[in-house]
Amino acid sequence: MLRSMYSGISGMRNFQTKLDVIGNNISNVNTFGFKKGRATFKDMVSQQIAGATGPGADRGGVNARQIGLGSQLASVDTIHTQGSLQNTNRALDLGISGDGFFTVADGPINYYTRAGNFYLDQEGDIVNSDGLYLQGAAGNINIPPAAQSFSVGADGIVSFINATGDLETAGTIQLSNFANPEGLTKAGENLYLQSTNSGIPAAESPGNGGTGTLVAGTLEMSNVDLSEEFTEMIVAQRGFQANTRIITTSDEILQELVNLKR
């Protein structure tokens, strides 16, 4: 009975974690470039009552008798599936169709993001909403304030019309690809950091080295599916309730045992 109570406690704890992940997914349903999370479970160690025996001359083999001691958290995955591209018709809204991440620099530190809402600062450098510089093949990408207009191609080339009406190139946006993007560490603010299990970033021009292409005038939306999240929420809620029933049922049996002594 005590084993069943502690198994119920472990199940409640895991489903609470699952609800935490679901809540974070739903809260970011409209966050540009957000990738949803997923909690998975695994069983805990099992207590062996009797071991297995092989067949003999007179009797066949007998399987082991084991009692599980509950469940535990196996992983919290980041699901890097493609989000839908929303049309904005804004020149510095860039969506990635395929794999890869934008690289933005905060001094010597490089961050990686799928959120493609970029802006121009006073000096003409392309930055994200927090002022981190978008990185190209030669570092920061600068569009002179005197430029008449500019555009971003699917291959990442940023072109502009200068003050005299001539076409110039400001730089080429680089996309970073990882052997294991699910191994990236979330740093908040739509940013990821390289980890020991993500692999080394391979910077390529869009469309090369397995990276996707850029679609100017669009933004990648979150890949959270509300119908799926609400379904998982119901499953987690019922799982939590079922584990509470294990505890209350075990408690009732313990109460009966206590009442044997009058």
Q: How far apart are CA 100 and CA 10, in angstroms?
A: 38
pLDDT in tens, 159-212: 999 888 889 999 999 999 999 999 999 999 999 999 999 999 999 999 998 899
DSSP letter string over 121-170? -TTSBEE-TT-PEEEETTEE-B--TT-SEEEE-TT-EEEEE-TTS-EEEE
Q: What is the pLDDT of residue 252?
A: 86
More confident residue, 162 or 261: 162
Q: pTM for this one?
A: 0.88
139: left (phi over 0), alpha (psi -120 to 50) or beta: left
Contact predicate 133/122, CB 8 Å = no
Q: What is the pLDDT of residue 1?
A: 60
Given a cut of 80, whether residue 154 has pLDDT beyond it is yes
Q: What is the pLDDT of residue 254?
A: 85
Matching residue, tokens 């409209």: 30
Q: What is the pLDDT of residue 262?
A: 67
The DSSP element (H or E) to which 204 belongs, if any, is strand 202-204
pLDDT in tens, 36-93: 999 999 998 888 888 898 998 888 999 999 888 889 999 999 999 999 999 999 999 9
Q: What is the pLDDT of residue 150?
A: 92
Q: How far apart are CA 16 and CA 55, in angstroms?
A: 45
Q: What is the pLDDT of residue 37?
A: 96
pLDDT in tens, 104-153: 999 999 999 999 999 999 999 999 999 999 999 888 999 998 888 999 99
Buried b (16+ CB within 10 A) or exposed e, 220-258: bbbbbeeeebeebbeebeebbeebeebbeebeeeeeeee
